[in-house]
Amino acid sequence: MRPGADDAEKRTNEIGTVIPLVDMLPDIGGRVFTADAMLTQRKLASHLIGRGAHYLFTVKGNQPTLLSDISLTLDEAMARREPDFAEPERKPDHGRKEKRSVWVSSELNGYVDFPGVGQVFAVRREVTEVKTGKRTSETACCITSLTRDMATAERLLSLNRGHWKIEAMHHILDMTFDEDRSRIRTGHGPSNVTLLRRFAIGLVRQYGDNVAETMRSMARKPRRVLDVLKLTGNTRSRKAFA
């Protein structure tokens, strides 16, 4: 199989199954569905609106015209005015300080070729390395069917952050547990094993926020597995574990 074939197959499967999965939900009226750029598709947006739900999608290069329109509008907004909402700078975490700001616009409503546009917005994430003072910045463009009356800039930023927390869990399952290559495919096996993996992640996070690093530590010192499972009479604390 050629390099990248697995990724292409994953994208095809995900796009082809997401609408049937949505249709399994009995009542989605008023709900907000968030998705990364791969699922930023007109067909999915129309389907959600048709069922009375809302979408909030990230826009990237797979929708070049849409991305260009949003970038042109919001680059100008970011250059000439303060953000519509900015989170206070968060306390240092893993040696980094983070701040997120959001700029919102309704100027493209009725102009861009995308169903039910209520707002477009840009999220700027600024990260400062505490030790070195080095600063990096990245900006993501998004589109949503939520109008200004339905969602403030603060709520849009909260919805966006909530989506990437879920994505972080999927990243751990894919990269640390190599879930995509699992050969368990029969009956309820895949869903049951995923539940066990998520349970394991919850246990590991009690002893370290970086799941991959903590698991490598347990591989070097198997005694730590017993500490995580609290199977010893003198189970060590998270502080001692570090």
**What pLDDT, on the 0 to 100 scale, is given for residue 126?**
86
**What pLDDT, on the 0 to 100 scale, is given for residue 45?**
94
**What pLDDT, on the 0 to 100 scale, is given for residue 210?**
65
| Number of neighbours of residue 73 by Cβ within 10 angstroms | 20
**What pLDDT, on the 0 to 100 scale, is given for residue 163?**
44
Residue numbers in the chain where pLDDT is lower than 70? 1-16, 90-95, 162-185, 190-191, 193-212, 228-242
Quick one: angle between helices 153-175 and 211-220, nearest 10?
30
| Number of neighbours of residue 235 by Cβ within 10 angstroms | 13
**What pLDDT, on the 0 to 100 scale, is given for residue 59?**
94
Three-class SS state of 20: helix
Distances from the Cα of 61 to the Cαs of 34, 70, 71, 80, 132, in angstroms?
18, 12, 11, 25, 32
Rounded-to-10 torsion of CA 162, 77, 110, 54? 10
**What pLDDT, on the 0 to 100 scale, is given for residue 130?**
77
**What pLDDT, on the 0 to 100 scale, is given for residue 1?**
32
- Positive or negative torsion for Cα 224, 229, 234, 237: positive
Between CA 207 and CA 227 the distance in angstroms is 9
Closest CA to 102 of 32, 37, 159: 159
**What pLDDT, on the 0 to 100 scale, is given for residue 14?**
60
